[in-house]
Amino acid sequence: MILNFGQVETLEIEDIITEELDLKKLMVFNDDVNTFDHVIETLVEVCGHTYEQAEQCAWIIHTKGKYVVKNGSFDELLPMRTAICDRGISAEIID
């Protein structure tokens, strides 16, 4: 619940804790099909990463086999997951 006192908005601690508990993770998986450039371009365009962030994520995905590229609510992450999968890259939303 947001309480308005003039120009100031106050969030109750319960609301903040609930929002943090509902955060999900967008996990991207390595494969032998997609190029680094394709993965980097996708992360920049879909997730809003900088080129450097996307490049680091791509290397971690390649070496570790998977990596959480974004945190957020399910509703925020679902269109990103769909867009990533539409580009032929495997991704899942996890708790």
Over the chain (95 residues), what is each successive 10-residue block's mean pLDDT? Answer: 55 60 93 97 98 98 98 97 98 97
CB 91 within 8 A of CB 28: yes
Which residues on adjacent β-strands are paired with residue 92?
27
Residues in the chain, total: 95
pLDDT at 22 (0 to 100): 82
pLDDT at 74 (0 to 100): 96
Give, in degrees to the nearest 5, the angle at Cα 59 between 55 and 64.
145
Q: What does the block give as tokens for 42?
A: 């996708």
